[in-house]
Amino acid sequence: MEIGVKKRAMIFSGTSNPDLAEEIAAHLGMRLGAVEINRFASGEIYVRFHESVRGTDAFVVQSHCAPVNDMIMEQLVMIDALKRASAKRINAVIPFYGYARQDKKTLAREPISARLVADLLTAAGADRILSVDLHTGQIQGFFDGPLDHLTALPLLAEYVGDKYDNLVVVAPDAGRAKLASKYAHHLHASLAFMQKSRRADVRNISEVMEVVGEVSGRRCLIVDDMIDTAGTLVNAVEALKERGAEQVIAAATHGIFSPPAFERLERSSLAEVIVTNSLPLAKQATTGKITVISIAPIVASTIKAVFEDESVSEIFQGEHLEAIPPERVVDLDEED
């Protein structure tokens, strides 16, 4: 008996960010698969797929947003259900990866929770991970299987470049130096750095210590991978303003906006905050300073490439990699 090889892809969404999942499916000319997701009275999660998934390439879209533990568990249960229903290949599409900031031990007796999440996804049955702008590149090494690391940098940089000029790109800490250098290359802008300290005994508390680079009379673009309570961002804004910055804007892939982020942003001197829809913007958002850029096109393109066994690197032209090509390094001593 001879059977021709036939591939079939299906996209499913958890409850964390269904609008983004719908948009991704629309870009691919597909519809979301039918899946029932409920909670028992005890809080346990129930999942059942309402159509056959046997032999399919299944893509499960779920951002790990608040309540983060529920969203992770929901995705794990969906993956397990797909595995037991004989899906051929299960791809976990995670626009925002939960616990990404806990990627190493900084104090004794701490966990490495980002690795734990990776192990849980693998144990549940995920064959491949797709994620956008991980907090650190080393998280890719937590998976034994393939991980496609997408980046929203070209989308955000294009928006900023079309709207603003006279820019200097500011890295809010040493960890964002490479990211800032990539933005500076895209925008043909100069570069500045901020040194900050963070309290070990309290989460989400930091102080700006020093600014390295010329910011006086310039429009400053602060870049980061995420904005949580906005404490670091607001401190950076005030420090730049004190040093003569004409205007300050911010760009980040993930807008977490945990309280009191919106109040801080509204009271700050920020002109605009640009984020993506990797996370659903909270309904209690009251500030008009936030602009949301959709990542659906790049996620859809990556899903298509994965399904068709084509190169993902071709889509991003190396922007999703940690290394910065020598010709893209921005020197602070360069004349504008």
Query: Given this model, what pLDDT does residue 287 score?
Result: 81
Query: Given this model, what pLDDT does residue 30 score?
Result: 97
Q: pLDDT-derived band of residue 334, with 50, 70 and 90 as boundaries?
A: very low
What are the two backbone dihedrals, phi and then psi, of residue 42, each rounded to the nearest 5 degrees? -80, -10
The residues that are catalytic are 196
Q: Is the pLDDT of residue 323 over 90?
A: no
Q: Is the pLDDT of residue 222 over 90?
A: yes
Domains of the chain: 9-150 (3.40.50.2020), 153-295+321-328 (3.40.50.2020)
Query: Given this model, what pLDDT does residue 313 score?
Result: 84
Arithmetic mean of pLDDT, 283-299: 90
Arithmetic mean of pLDDT, 309-316: 87
Contact 152, 172 (CB under 8 A): no
pLDDT one-digit tens code per residue, 177-196: 999 999 999 999 999 999 87
Q: Which residue has the tokens 């059942």?
A: 48
Pick 67 or 203 by higher pLDDT. 67
Q: Is the pLDDT of residue 6 over 90?
A: no
Q: Is the pLDDT of residue 124 over 90?
A: yes
Calculate the average pLDDT of the chain.
91
Contact 312, 306 (CB under 8 A): yes
Give dist(CA 331, CA 267) in Å, integer: 34
Q: pLDDT-derived band of residue 333, with 50, 70 and 90 as boundaries?
A: very low
pLDDT one-digit tens code per residue, 231-250: 989 999 999 999 999 999 99
pLDDT one-digit tens code per residue, 191-220: 999 987 655 556 655 565 689 999 999 999
Q: Is the pLDDT of residue 143 over 90?
A: yes
Arithmetic mean of pLDDT, 167-186: 93
Q: For the range 199-206, what are the long-range contacts, defined as Cβ-Cβ under 8 Å and sequence gap of 24 or more?
A: 200/106, 200/107, 204/228, 204/229, 204/231, 204/258, 205/231, 206/231, 206/232, 206/235
Q: What is the pTM of this model?
A: 0.90
Arithmetic mean of pLDDT, 78-86: 98
Query: Given this model, what pLDDT does residue 174 score?
Result: 84
Query: Given this model, what pLDDT does residue 175 score?
Result: 85
Pick from 309, 322, 307, 192: which is nearest to 244 by CA? 192
Alpha-helical regions (H) of the chain: 18-27, 68-84, 113-124, 153-163, 177-187, 231-242, 261-267, 296-307, 313-316
Query: Given this model, what pLDDT does residue 205 score?
Result: 59
